């Protein structure tokens, strides 16, 4: 087997060579440094660092809050995508553009804005506080920040699939006597399911690594509202490079695993949609 299928187009060697060189320099080499540094640890020490109770507590907070935020966005995102594709309303173009705000707004700005709004004396925080709900400086604040940051993912993965859906299928189902709800659950949902899952996973992956917006609103209590990236910073500030690197490796492996999962999902989605067509 040949490495490359033959093609009349030129520039393959140059383009691939440059891409690989640049990728190696900017991404692979620095990440290798991370692994090389942890090689200095024996397995037992590494394991002891990454399973220390306080660190494990940060995994729970990080993964738990990310999961909840991604779940919230699964529903919110689907609703927004649905409304944007199916229902006409004034200012739609504006709202559609606004959905991407969390991608465009720096996370630190989102962090201070949310902390100010949801503090017990803030515009949103004060009424909530009267109801006995504390948002800022609690795990709920982390969920809020992560929900904000990851809002566009599900919308943007589901929207194109909904747009491309053939209405004939729904018409056919309807003429066969299916109710609207049955059509939704039996026809529409299965079609957008891979997109939903991809959006959910993307949101989850992004939420796990988020730092800028969370630190302003988290409260950072040990075992309660400390996130894993903060733990890395905290280890660094105790001059514990090994500890910081070990936790970073764990995060990196999780990110890489999620990324493989996402690519797998997208491949599955392409295949399903392709089959439909």
Partner 1 sequence: MSTAINNLNNKVVTTESAWVRYLLTGLALLLIAILLIVPLLSVFYEALHQGWGLYKDALIESDALSAIQLTLIVAAISLPLNLVFGVAAAWAIAKFDFKGKSILVTLIDLPFAVSPVVAGLIYVLLFGAHGWWGAWLMDNDIKIIFAVPGIVLATVFVTFPFVARELIPLMEAQGSDEEQAALVLGASGWQTFWHVTLPNIKWGLLYGVILANARAMGEFGAVSVISGHIRGMTNTIPLHVEILYNEYNFVAAFACASILALLALLTLALKSYVEWRTEQQAIEDRKHAIEAV
Partner 2 sequence: MLRKLSLALILSGLSAVTFAETTLLNVSYDVMRDFYKDYNPAFAKYYDAKFSDKVTIQQSHGGSSKQARSVIDGLEADVVTMNMSTDIDAIVEKGKQINAGWDKKFPNEAAPFSSLQVLIVRKGNPKGIKDWNDLAKAGVQVVVPNPKTSGNGRYTFLAAWGAALKQNGGNEAKAREFTQAIFANVPVLDAGGRAATTTFMQRQIGDVLVTFENEAEMIAREFGRGNFEVIYPSVSIDADLPVAVVDKVVDKKGSRKVATEYLNYLWSVPGQEIAAQNYLRPRNTAVAAKYAKQFPAIKLFGVADFGGLKAAQKKFFDDGAIYDQIAADIAKKK
Residue 118 in contact with residue 128, Cβ under 8 Å?
A: yes
3-state SS, residue 2: coil
Of the residues 40, 54, 112, 160, which one makes contact with partner 1 according to CB under 8 A: 112
Distance separating alpha carbons of residues 241 and 71, to the nearest angstrom: 34
Distance CA 219, CA 143 (A): 12
Burial readout 9-18 (b: 16 or more C-beta within 10 A, e: otherwise):
eeeeeeeeee
Q: Hey, which residues between 141 and 180 contact partner 1 (CB under 8 A)? A: 147-148, 151, 167-168, 170-171, 174-175, 177, 180
Q: Using the rule CB under 8 A, which residue among 99, 128, 162, 273 binds partner 1? A: 99
Stretch that binds partner 1, among 2-10, 46-54, 63-71, 127-135 (CB under 8 A): 2-10
Which of partner 2, partner 1, none lies near 133, with the C-beta cut-off 5 to 8 A by kind?
Answer: none
Residue 95 or 221: which CB sits closer to partner 1? 95
Q: CA dist 35 to 149, 195, 246, 251, Å? A: 29, 33, 8, 12
- Which positions from 7 to 26 touch partner 1 by CB under 8 A, shown as an x/- string? xxxxxx-xxx-xxx-xx--x
Say how far residue 77 (Cα) sits from the centre of its chain: 13
* Contact flags string 219-258 toward partner 1, x per CB under 8 A: ---------xx--xx--x----x--xx--x--xx--xx-x
Q: What gap in Å lies between CA 72 and CA 69, rounded to an integer?
A: 5
Between residues 168 and 237, which has the closer beta carbon with respect to partner 2?
237
What is the rounded distance in angstroms from the CA atom of residue 8 to the CA atom of residue 52? 57
Residue 8 tokens read as 């009349």
- Residue 26 gets which letter from DSSP? I
Q: Give 130 or 167: the residue with its C-beta nearer to partner 1.
A: 167
Give the interface with partner 2 as residue ranges (CB under 8 A): 52-54, 57, 115, 119-121, 136-137, 215, 219-224, 230, 233-234, 236-240, 243
| CA 244 – CA 216 distance, rounded (Å) | 21
Q: Which does 15 bind (CB under 5 to 8 A by kind): partner 2, partner 1, none?
A: partner 1
Q: Looking at 29-37, 44-52, 130-138, 189-197, which segment touches partner 1 (CB under 8 A)?
A: 29-37
């Amino acid at each position: 087997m040949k490495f490359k299928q033959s093609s009349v187009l030129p520039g393959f060697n140059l383009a691939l060579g440059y891409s690989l060189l640049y990728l190696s320099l900017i991404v692979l080499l620095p990440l290798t440094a991370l692994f090389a540094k942890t090689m200095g640890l024996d397995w037992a020490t590494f394991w002891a660092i990454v399973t220390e109770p306080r660190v494990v507590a940060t995994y729970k907070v990080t993964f738990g809050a990310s999961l909840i935020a991604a779940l919230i966005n699964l529903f919110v995102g689907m609703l927004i995508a649905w409304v944007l594709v199916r229902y006409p309303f004034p200012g739609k173009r504006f709202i559609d553009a606004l959905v991407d705000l969390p991608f465009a707004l720096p996370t630190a700005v989102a962090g201070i804005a949310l902390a100010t709004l949801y503090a017990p004396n803030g515009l949103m925080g004060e009424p909530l506080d009267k109801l006995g709900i504390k948002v800022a400086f609690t795990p709920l604040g982390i969920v809020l920040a992560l929900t904000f940051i990851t809002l566009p993912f599900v919308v943007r993965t589901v929207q194109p699939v909904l747009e491309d859906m053939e209405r004939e299928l729904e018409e056919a189902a309807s003429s066969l006597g299916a109710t609207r709800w049955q059509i939704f659950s039996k026809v529409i949902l299965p079609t957008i399911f891979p997109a939903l899952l991809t959006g959910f996973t993307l949101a989850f992956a992004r939420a796990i690594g988020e730092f800028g917006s969370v630190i302003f609103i988290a409260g950072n209590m040990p075992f309660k509202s400390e996130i894993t990236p903060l733990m890395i910073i905290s280890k660094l500030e105790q001059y514990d490079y090994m500890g910081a690197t070990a936790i970073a490796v764990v995060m990196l492996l999780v990110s890489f695993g999620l990324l493989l999962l996402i690519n797998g999902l997208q491949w599955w989605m392409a295949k399903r949609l392709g089959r439909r067509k």
